[in-house]
Amino acid sequence: MKDYYGTLGVSRDASEAEIKKAYRKLARELHPDVAGAEGEERFKEVAAAYDVLGNADKRAQYDRGVDPRSASGGAGGPQGFGFEDIFETFFGGGAGPFGQQQRGPATRTQRGGDTLVHTEITLEEAVFGVTREIQVDLADVCSTCHGSCCAPGTQPTGCRQCNGSGSVQRVARSLLGNVMTTAPCPTCGGYGSTIETPCTECSGQGRTHARHTVSVDIPAGVETGTRIRMTGVGDAGVAGGQKGDLYIEIRERAHAVFERRGSDLHCTLEVPMTAAALGTVLSVETFDGQQEVDVRPGTHAGSTVRLKGLGVGRLQRQGRGDLFVHLDVVTPTELTEEQEELLRQLAALRGEEAPEARLAPLGGGVFSRLKDAFKGR
């Protein structure tokens, strides 16, 4: 099946306006009068692609894997690509071949733009979620003209040059002779009216800017780069247009003790050599308060204790990750004579006065445990 999106150079989620714009650009470049005979085949391919993608029903069929042109034989010129489409493409007008007006004046109203702000949160706030008050500069509908763009007591005046139509006609030469086309009125800019007395508060834009305090609910599980969308909270549009969206991008501060890996937390707990050998229970401070860590007798350096459900809240599903406590066995470096003698006695009892070097298999031992601990196993 032909790649019509690729032919027009647009993405599969392109809007109708984007498809039409891409087609017009390519059609002008590839028209035989411009590109010569060698551009004719490419021109036909572009026209065929627009025939499908420019029609909502045909595009829906194509997106489902059915080429409507192939299904109907694909003979002749582009189906649904009429005489008026050709005139509109090459002469830039909204008029048909006999000069009839097809479009009304343009509207001044425009949707407001989207706004992006950043906010920094702590790791603890990422674990549980938080409500944050954010300061942001946003455009509001002008309180003086209420979006009309006109000074109070005035209103737009109909354009005298185009008589309110927003366009003017002109004659253009073509292969078919003189053709009547239309273009946006240069006086009113295509709006069909002019604002003689613009609002002084907003300079005729219909909106003003002010600082706002926005309350944002930041859910558990967000991380650096996460964007929260608040629909209709962005800038108000020109001339009373609807508001855009506000996006809050998260930046998470690093923690002094805990390291985050996805929805899990990791930390290191130092254990005295004697406690690692004999076993003990140690209390550690977590985001959920004091928690007990069971150090079993004979614990080696790099061992990991898993505390379930004490990690970060998951953003798109229930529950929380886990907290992995990595045990670091601390060997004493400064011993008193008495302590050193006791250790020598222990070594003698264990037959370790002159220990033999023994290599451990790569599949086990401390290095393997450290590797597994780093991966969160």
For each of the domains in the chain, give its residue range(s) and CATH number, in order of start: 4-81 (1.10.287.110), 115-152+197-252 (2.60.260.20), 259-374 (2.60.260.20)
110 contacts 238 by C-beta, under 8 angstroms: yes
Indicate if the pLDDT at residue 346 is higher than 90: no
Q: What is the pLDDT of residues 214-265, one digit of tens each?
A: 999 999 999 999 999 999 999 999 998 999 999 999 999 999 999 999 999 9
Q: Tell me, what's the pLDDT at 182?
A: 79
**150 annotated as a binding-site residue:** no
Separation CA 335–CA 70 (nearest Å)? 88
The more confident residue out of 332 and 128 is 128
3-state secondary structure string, 26-67? HHHHHCHHHHCHHHHHHHHHHHHHHHHHCCHHHHHHHHCCCC
Confidence of residue 100 (pLDDT cuts 50, 70, 90): very low
Separation CA 29–CA 16 (nearest Å)? 20
- Which parts of 229-306 fold into alpha helices (H)? 273-278
Q: Mean pLDDT of all residues in the chain?
A: 83
Indicate if the pLDDT at residue 372 is higher than 60: no
Indicate if the pLDDT at residue 363 is higher than 80: no
Separation CA 56–CA 50 (nearest Å)? 11
Q: What is the mean pLDDT of residues 309-320?
A: 90
Indicate if the pLDDT at residue 209 is higher than 80: yes
**199 annotated as a binding-site residue:** yes
User: In the numeric block, which tokens belong to residue 239?
Assistant: 């001339």
Confidence of residue 17 (pLDDT cuts 50, 70, 90): confident
364 contacts 344 by C-beta, under 8 angstroms: no
% of the chain exceeding 70 in pLDDT: 82
**267 annotated as a binding-site residue:** no
Q: What is the mean pLDDT of residues 55-74?
A: 73
Measured over the CA atoms of residue 77, residue 82, residue 85 and residue 91, the dihedral's sign is: positive
Separation CA 33–CA 214 (nearest Å)? 57
Q: What is the pLDDT of residues 191-203, one digit of tens each?
A: 999 999 999 999 9
- Return the minimum-mean-pLDDT range out of 180-194, 256-270, 351-365: 351-365
The residues near 122 (Cβ < 8 Å, ≥ 6 apart) are 252, 253, 255
- Which parts of 115-259 fold into alpha helices (H)? 123-128
How many DSSP H helices and E strands does the chain contain?
11, 15
Q: How far apart are the first and last CA of the chain?
A: 47
230 contacts 214 by C-beta, under 8 angstroms: yes
286 contacts 350 by C-beta, under 8 angstroms: no
The more confident residue out of 91 and 320 is 320
Q: What is the mean pLDDT of residues 86-105?
A: 49
% of the chain exceeding 90 in pLDDT: 46
Q: Tell me, what's the pLDDT at 37?
A: 66
Q: Tell me, what's the pLDDT at 176?
A: 61
Q: What is the dihedral of CA 14, 15, 20, 22, to 10 degrees?
A: -30
Q: Tell me, what's the pLDDT at 78?
A: 43
